[in-house]
Amino acid sequence: MIQRLFDSQSLLRAEMAYASLANRIQTDGYLVESYHIPMIADERKAGSTLLKRLTGLVDFHANREVLMLYSSYLRPNGEGVIWSYAPQADSIGIGVTGGGVDIEGLNKIPPLTWAELTRDLRLAYRLKKPVHIFSLEGCVKEGYLTRLRTFDWEGPVAEPVESFQKVHAVRRLAQAGLWATAHPLAILAGICVLGCGFSRLFSRRRKCCR
């Protein structure tokens, strides 16, 4: 991770490679979908590349971008994450219903219950955007697939006001931190200005005391 932090060239090469692949797919007449963790939206807003350099994420233009708003990984504020990030997504990824994940630690997290899944689906439906459910095998295993055939999308669901406010506060802090990493000279200049201001203030106070 430390190596990646200072290796902007590898990130640039990866972005060019992905962009070339996406262009090739589109030239063949297909649409391209990309899947991203939600914090990619915060990094873009901050104009930073820190997360991409640290984690190996690659950002590129796609016909449709799916933000993976998997509330099973984000309990107890998963619904707040959906309500906060979904407006910035082309399509909303809901999950995880089980299966499809072979990452140490993540495969031990309990899948969505039917109540959690229906809550998330109804929240996503209110935003009138395409919805992706991860994963098919999880829905089959849990018996959700047949129940989704008669699912009432317009059923009642409470807006997650409290969890949304928590997520929103964390996002603002994250965006500020990411912005700082992208603009170190501006931060340094601000510190210098504040330092000079405090220095003058204290020097005036000393003169007054004399």
The whole-angstrom separation of Cα 11 and Cα 130 is 30
Predicted confidence (pLDDT) at residue 196 exceeds the cutoff of 80: no
Which of 56, 61, 11 minimizes the C-alpha distance to 32?
61
pLDDT band at 117 (very low <50, low <70, confident <90, very high): very high
pLDDT single digits (tens) 167-191: 999 999 999 999 998 887 666 666 6
State the average pLDDT over residues 121-147.
95
pLDDT band at 150 (very low <50, low <70, confident <90, very high): very high
Preceding amide of 184 cis, omega within 30? no
pLDDT single digits (tens) 13-30: 999 999 999 999 999 999
pLDDT single digits (tens) 31-89: 999 999 999 999 999 999 999 988 888 998 899 999 999 999 999 999 999 999 999 99
Q: Which of the two residues, 165 and 54, has the higher pLDDT score? A: 165
Predicted confidence (pLDDT) at residue 205 exceeds the cutoff of 60: no
Can you give the pLDDT at residue 191?
Answer: 65
- Percent residues over pLDDT 70 in the chain: 88
The whole-angstrom separation of Cα 47 and Cα 51 is 11
The residues with which 131 forms a beta bridge, in sequence order, are 92
Predicted confidence (pLDDT) at residue 125 exceeds the cutoff of 60: yes
State the average pLDDT over residues 105-127.
92
The whole-angstrom separation of Cα 3 and Cα 45 is 25
Q: Looking at beta carbons, which pairs linking 30-34 to residues 24 or more positions away fall under 8 Å?
A: 31/63, 31/64, 32/62, 32/63, 32/64, 33/62, 33/63, 33/64, 33/65, 33/66, 33/91, 34/60, 34/62, 34/64, 34/65, 34/66
Q: Crossing angle of helices 78-85/114-126, nearest 10°? A: 20
The whole-angstrom separation of Cα 171 and Cα 80 is 11
Average pLDDT, the chain: 89
Q: Could you tell me the strand order of the sheet in which 33-36 lies?
A: 33-36, 64-68, 91-95, 131-134
**CA 86, 88, 93, 95: dihedral to nearest 10 degrees?**
-40
